[in-house]
Amino acid sequence: MEPHAGGSRSSAVQDETVTHKTILVGDSGVGKTSLLVQFDQGKFIPGSFSATVGIGFTNKDVTVGDARVKLQIWDTAGQERFRSVTHAYYRDAHALLLLYDITSKSSFDNIRAWLTEIHEYAQSDVVIMLLGNKTDMASGRVVKREDGEKLAREYGVIFMETSAKTGINVDLAFATVAKELIGRSSDLPHEPKFRIRDTAEVKKRETECCFFT
């Protein structure tokens, strides 16, 4: 059971039986499928994935305090020819994890275009997290952490760096999204917390890993 696009989610998010549609987006090759496998199965399978074709998903429960949050996580293709398919899934998404590869400047440069698409097609109260993936490849880093933090501040979204290979911050990323979904359940429907074009005041977590609107 998912709330329809454009409807109120306040009561829905409070209902633990509701499945929250969570979508992984970003350029091809940034590690979306590997991130999902690491979170779902707790392992990294090197060289086993070709580019995702179309859409695939898995269901996963995340425990936040005494609450259990059901996530339906969708892995999307990053290639341009599948972009129109991805757009259709934005409309009823509760959360979006937007990935770039810290060893790929182009994947980071394209984040603004992805955010523009999200602004156009997703609901205004969608939870968005920006993830700089592949931190295990530090020697090949071309995108500084500070650049990711700056972009997250500009758009008022949550930020974290992850490694789908080693598992660093992978569980934390999804737990943070789940916690944010619970937190937003108390917001009034006409007062969405996320406005992509607004400059948001940023709060750092004690772990100094995340940014919130």
One-letter amino acid for residue 6 of the chain: G
**Residues 167-186: pLDDT tens digits?**
999 999 999 999 999 887 65
**Residues 38-96: pLDDT tens digits?**
999 998 877 545 444 445 678 999 998 888 999 999 987 655 545 566 677 788 899 99
One-letter amino acid for residue 201 of the chain: E
Q: State how far the Cα of 52 lies from the Cα of 37, in Å rounded to an integer.
A: 13
Q: At what angle do helices 170-184 and 32-41 cross, to 10 degrees?
A: 90
Q: Compute CA distances 88 → 2, 98, 156, 187, whole Å.
A: 15, 16, 24, 25
Q: State how far the Cα of 5 lies from the Cα of 72, in Å rounded to an integer.
A: 16
**Residues 91-149: pLDDT tens digits?**
889 999 999 999 999 999 999 999 999 999 999 999 999 999 999 999 999 999 999 99
Burial of 192 per CB tally in 10 Å (0-12, 13-18, 19+): middle
**Residues 179-205: pLDDT tens digits?**
999 887 655 444 444 443 333 333 333
Q: Across the strands, what pairs with 96?
A: 23, 128
> Where do the domains of the chain lie?
10-212
Q: Across the strands, what pairs with 57?
A: 74
Q: Please state whether beta strands 211-212 and 203-204 pair in parallel, antiparallel, or not at all (unpaired).
A: antiparallel
Res 195: pLDDT: 41
One-letter amino acid for residue 186 of the chain: S
CATH of segment(s) 10-212: 3.40.50.300
Kindly state the tokens that stand for 4. 């329809």
Q: Is the pLDDT of residue 8 over 90?
A: no
**Residues 16-41: pLDDT tens digits?**
568 899 999 999 899 999 999 999 99
